[in-house]
Amino acid sequence: MAKKYDRWQIYYYDEVTSTNDIIKNLCVKANDKIVVCAQKQTAGRGRMGRQWQSLAGNLFFSLALNVDLRSLGTFILMCGLTLCQTIHTLQPMVNVQIKWPNDVLLNNAKVSGMLLEKGPADYLIIGIGVNLVQHPISSDIIYPTTSLSNAGINVTIQQFLKLFLKQFTKNLALLETKTGCATLRNQWLGYVKGLGERLTVRQENQEMSGVFRGIDENGYLMLENDTGICQIRVGDVFYIKES
Ligand code: BTN
pLDDT tens profile 212-232: 999 998 889 999 999 999 999
- Pocket of ligand 1 contains residue 128 by CB under 6 Å: yes
Using a cut of 0.85, tell me whether the model's pTM lies above it: yes
Question: 87-109, pLDDT tens digit by residue?
Answer: 999 999 999 999 999 999 999 99
Strands 8-16 and 34-41: parallel
Average pLDDT in the 180-191 region? 94
Task: Put the strands of the sheet holding 236-239 in their side by side order.
Answer: 228-232, 221-225, 207-215, 198-202, 236-239
Q: Which atom belonging to ligand 1 lies closest to the Cα atom of 128?
A: 8
* Exposure string over 66-79, b if 16+ CB within 10 A, otherwise e: ebeeebebbbbbbb
For residue 46, how far is its CA from the centre of ligand 1 (angstroms)?
A: 5
For residue 44, how far is its CA from the centre of ligand 1 (angstroms)?
A: 6
Q: Which residue's C-alpha comes closest to atom 15 of ligand 1?
A: 45
Q: Which residue's C-alpha comes closest to atom 11 of ligand 1?
A: 127
Using pLDDT thresholds of 50, 70 and 90, give the confidence band for residue 1: very low
- Pocket of ligand 1 contains residue 127 by CB under 6 Å: yes
Bridge partners, 231 (sequence order): 222
Instruction: State the Cα–Cα distance between residues 234 and 224, nearest whole angstrom.
Output: 16
> Reduced to 3 states, what is the DSSP secondary structure of residue 144?
coil
Average pLDDT in the 125-133 region? 97
% of the chain residues with pLDDT over 90? 74
Q: Which residue's C-alpha comes closest to atom 2 of ligand 1?
A: 113
